Structure 1
């Protein structure tokens, strides 16, 4: 059991988490930026105007990206199960 194996597993886990989180968070951030610029330009300070579009963008990202995300997660899990003999032996 070399330390490089564990470092590689940890790197793969962090990369998978980063991809899955960014796929959900980035659309909400972009919509929030556009809404904030709109609010600053029009001096509208309505809280629901900034919250609702971000919520909708995040939900749409989850709906359209769920298949891809679950595929990446299953691929990661399969790779981890294939590496069990390497880690144990």
Structure 2
């Protein structure tokens, strides 16, 4: 296995990690920002008002995007395991 193939594999793995984090975290960040603006406008300082919607949204994203996440991880590891004979031989 050449250095270019290894570099490509690691860059694909890092890109996949970034995409998976974005799918799970960004919606929670957006909801958190909306709730923070609402709290600032109404001067309501309740901790559960910001925590609970972010938790629920993150769990919903895991439910809805879970199949895609698992498929992406399986594709990456499938490519990794199929390249093992090329690395050894």
Asked whether the two chains share a fold, i.e. TM above 0.5, the reply is yes
Q: Deviations over 1:47-73 (max 9, x none)?
A: 111101100110100011101100111
1:2 deviates by 2.1
Q: Does 1:20 align with 2:20?
A: yes
Report how many residues are paired. Answer: 89
- Gaps spanning 5+ residues in structure 1: where? none
User: Which region of structure 1 is more displaced relative to structure 2, 17-26 or 77-86?
Assistant: 77-86
1:27 deviates by 0.9
C-alpha RMSD over aligned residues: 1.1
- Taking structure 2 as the reference length, the TM-score comes to 0.92
Greater relative contact order structure (CA < 8 Å, 6+ sep):
1
Cα distance in structure 2, aligned partners of 1:20 and 1:75: 14
